[in-house]
Amino acid sequence: MKVTVDVDCSPAEARAFLGLPDVTPIHDKYIKTMLEGFEGVGSAEQMETLFKSFSPMGDAGVRLFQQMMNIGLSGMSGTEKK
């Protein structure tokens, strides 16, 4: 026997139901800080440096994200990138 239950709730309701903390204030502060940092950016190099400084794992996080994007894009095009 298979039983399926559909729950219609917002992300905030789901977090409260599961007992997860509300991190909205932290998220809002992070976004505000990022937007303030973008105000003086004029080149691609400056943008990359800014992203690396905001990345949770620094350079390693940015490289991991680039690798994931490359794998996804190569899968879409049907080519294998090495």
Residue 65, token pair as written in the block: 């994200």
| Confidence band of 30 (pLDDT split at 50, 70, 90) | confident
Per-residue pLDDT of 6-16, as tens digits, reads 989 998 898 89
> Which DSSP helix (H) or strand (E) runs through 37?
helix 24-38
Stated pTM of the model: 0.42
Measured distance CA(38)–CA(3) in Å, rounded:
49
Residue 46, token pair as written in the block: 């400056």
Measured distance CA(72)–CA(50) in Å, rounded:
24
pLDDT of residue 79: 56
Residue 82 has pLDDT above 70, yes or no: no
pLDDT of residue 80: 54
Angle, helix 24-38 to helix 44-54, in steps of 10 degrees: 160
